[in-house]
Amino acid sequence: MKFGKFLLFFLLWSAWSLQAQDIHFTMFNMSPLTVNPAHTGAFLGTIRIGGIYRSQWNSSLGGDGYSTPSVYADSPFLAVGKKKRDWLGIGVAIVQDNAGTNGLKTNSFLLSGAFHKTLDKKGDHVLTLGIHQGNFSRQIDGTTVLTEQGIIDGGRTGFVGGGEELGETPKTFRDFAGGLMIKSAINEKTNLTLGTSFFYITQPDQSLVNFSQRPDTTGMGGGGGIAPEGNNQKPSLINAHGAVAFQATDKWTVEPSAIFRVTKGLTETILQGNAGYKFNDNLTFLMGAGYRFGDAAHLIGGVDYEGWKVLLSYDFTTSPLANDGRIRNGFEIAAQYIIKVYKKPQVDPAILCPKF
C-alpha cells in the first residue's frame, strides 16, 4: 500500500515537471546515460559497455548532415546499507555531435553517479537518484563570418546577427543534470520502469560568436562586446521516460516504451514497441517499431547473443520535409555488452568421519 502511494506521487511529480530537440537517438534505450543519469549502474552485472552511432539527413544536405557517435560504460560498483541491499553506480559517457554544413562539433564528457535504494525486503522495487557533471566543447571548423542573419547549425543553436565572426577557439562550458527513476517488479512476468531527468540546470552560455570583433556601436571604443540577451544560453531539457516489459509466452517478450522531451517550448515524443523471440538459451532475436510524432516512423532489428546486444534502426521521414523528393531519413547502429564477474563461493574444508 505504501509503495502504491509512492508510485502515484512519483507519476504526479513527473507530470508536473514537464513544462525537444537536443542530441537525441531513436534507440534511446541503447544510450541510457544520456537519457537519465539514474540509469547509471541499473542493471544485473559487473560492467556495462556500449556505443551508438546516428546519421541523419546526409542526402538532403549534400553529404553534410548530422552524425552523432557516443560511447559509455557504467557499473554498480559498491553495495551499501546495513544489509547491502542498496548500491552505488558510477559511469561515463562521451558524445560527439556533428551538425550541418558549417562543421559545428559539440563534444560532451559526462561523469555520472547514482544511488539505488531498495524499497522492500525482496528488492522488487528500487528507487534511484542520479546526477552527472557534463563538460562540453563546441567549435566550428575554421573561421566563419556570417554575412546575413541565419541559422548556424540547422536549428539547434538559433540565430545570430550578420557579420559576426566565429573563431577557431572552442567554446567550453560545464553543466549538471539530475534524474529520478523507479523500477518495479509488478509480478513474476512484468517489470515497470519510470523516470524523469533534468539537463542543463544552470543554462550555461554556449555562444560561438566572437562579439569582441563586432563594430563599435556604443561610442565608447572597442567592439560591441555584448551578446543579445537570452540567445546564448543552453536551454534546460526535461525528459520523462517509461517502459513496461512482460513475458508474453515462453518464447516471446514484449516491451512498449516511450520518451517525452521538452526544451524551450519545443517537444519531442517517441512511442516504441519492442519484442524479443527466444530462439535458444543463448540467442534472442529482437525487433521493434515506433513513431516520433510529427517527424518520422522507424523500424528496429537485432540480436541478443551471450551478453551482446546489437541493434539497427532506420527512420522514415513523415513530416512535410519528405515531400521535396530528397532523402531525409536517419540510420542508427548500437551495441551493448554486459560483463558479469562473480566471486567464486568459498567453501570451508570439511573433515568426513566415515561410519563403520
Q: Quick one: average pLDDT of 14-28?
A: 59
Q: Quick one: average pLDDT of 132-158?
A: 57
* Backbone angles phi and psi of 220, in degrees to 5: -110, 5
- Look at residue 138 in the predicted model and tell me its pLDDT: 85
Contact 51, 34 (CB under 8 A): no
Threshold 0.85, pTM exceeds: no
- Look at residue 168 in the predicted model and tell me its pLDDT: 56
- Look at residue 46 in the predicted model and tell me its pLDDT: 94
Q: Quick one: average pLDDT of 318-346?
A: 74
- Look at residue 115 in the predicted model and tell me its pLDDT: 97
Helices (H), the chain: 2-17, 32-35
- Look at residue 182 in the predicted model and tell me its pLDDT: 97
Quick one: CATH architecture of 2-339? Beta Barrel (2.40)
Q: What are the grid coordinates assigned to 356, written together?
A: 563403520
Contact 257, 29 (CB under 8 A): yes
For residues 259 and 239, what is the distance between their CA atoms, to the nearest angstrom? 7
Sequence-ordered list of residues with C-beta below 8 angstroms from that of 104, at least 6 positions apart, any chain = 98, 138, 139, 140, 152, 153, 157, 208
Q: pLDDT-derived band of residue 309, with 50, 70 and 90 as boundaries?
A: very high
Cα separation values, 346 from 45, 350, 351, Å: 20, 12, 16
Digit-coded pLDDT (tens) for 74-124: 999 899 988 889 999 999 999 998 876 567 788 999 999 999 999 998 889
Q: Is the predicted pLDDT of residue 339 greater than 90, yes or no?
A: yes
Phi-psi region of 224 (alpha: psi -120 to 50; beta: other; left: phi over 0): alpha
Q: pLDDT-derived band of residue 330, with 50, 70 and 90 as boundaries?
A: confident
- Look at residue 343 in the predicted model and tell me its pLDDT: 62
Reference 94, options 135, 56, 44, 142; nearest CA is 135
- Look at residue 323 in the predicted model and tell me its pLDDT: 54
Digit-coded pLDDT (tens) for 156-207: 333 334 444 455 567 888 999 999 999 999 998 999 999 999 999 998 887 7
- Look at residue 122 in the predicted model and tell me its pLDDT: 87
Sequence-ordered list of residues with C-beta below 8 angstroms from that of 98, at least 6 positions apart, any chain = 66, 67, 68, 104, 105
**DSSP string computed for 228-290:** PTTSSBPPPEEEEEEEEEEE-SSSEEEEEEEEEEEETTEEEEEEEEEEEEE-SSSEEEEEEEE
Q: Is the predicted pLDDT of residue 346 greater than 70, yes or no?
A: no
Q: Is the predicted pLDDT of residue 341 greater than 80, yes or no?
A: yes
For the chain, domain boundaries: 2-339
- Look at residue 3 in the predicted model and tell me its pLDDT: 47
Sequence-ordered list of residues with C-beta below 8 angstroms from that of 278, at least 6 positions apart, any chain = 250, 251, 252, 253, 284
Question: How many Cα atoms occupy the beta-carbon half-sphere of 318 within 13 Å?
Answer: 11
Q: pLDDT-derived band of residue 252, with 50, 70 and 90 as boundaries?
A: very high
Maximum mean pLDDT: which of 35-49, 95-109, 217-231, 335-349:
35-49
- Look at residue 12 in the predicted model and tell me its pLDDT: 40
